[in-house]
Amino acid sequence: MLLQQQGSRVEVARPQVFSGRIEEMSAFVNAARLYIRMKIIEEVAATQVTWMLLYVQGGIAEAWKDNLLDELAKGESEVELVEQLFIEIRNDFGKTSEEEKKIEQLRTIKQGGKTCNEYVQKFKKVARGSGYEGRPLIEKFKRGLNGSIRRKLVEAEELPTTIGEWQERVVRLDKNQRQSRMEERILGKNMICPGENVQPRGRGSYGGREGQIT
């Protein structure tokens, strides 16, 4: 459909609705970029971003848009310019092989010898653009945790409900555990009185009655 904005003699086609399918992506981005340049280039960046999101509808793109709008409302998104939004769309919808790679990484990622904070940061990087969200994403996150941390979380009376809450909880729990172990080691060292010389008994040591070698 062609649209002629008041005050402009140039007719520009609106972009087709984008539902997240990779074959729609390039045409959508190009049409949106052209329309913005020809019709609303003088609008503030936030208006341009909001206008573009009006044409992101249906399919996996609907949930993606809802998440982005929520992040924008909370000030948690780094998207400030419409060109940044184009990059996000290309990264999240235009790299099928990359998405498949990330899905495989989510299946195999493990905490191992990493701290919980290190694991959380690695998981966030892998999860971004994988297509996972909500409960399935939480299950992937829990599966990769070390058993001791996971059991303590599951045994808690009130379980986290979002991936952000799970990540925050494990980092705090891990930090507390490490601090507790450090204090126990310090306390154990202080149990030996200063100047006390503890010698192990063994061959050649003196013990028993005076002058008797044991």
- In CATH, the number for domain 96-190 is 1.10.1200
d(CA 177, CA 59): 43
pLDDT for the residue 6: 42
Helix axes 163-190, 147-154, angle to 10 degrees: 110
Please answer whether residues 31 and 16 qualify as being in contact, where contact means their C-beta atoms are separated by less than 8 angstroms: yes
Phi, psi of 28 (to 5 degrees): -65, -50
Band of pLDDT at residue 8, cut at 50, 70 and 90: low
pLDDT at 88: 86
Q: How far out from the chain centre does Cα 35 lie?
A: 33
**Mean pLDDT for all residues in the chain:** 81
User: pTM for the whole thing?
Assistant: 0.44
10 exposed, middle or buried (CB, 10 Å; 0-12, 13-18, 19+)? exposed
pLDDT tens for each residue of 57-89: 998 899 899 988 888 888 877 788 888 888 888
Domain ranges for the chain? 2-93, 96-190
**9 falls in which pLDDT band (50, 70, 90)?**
low
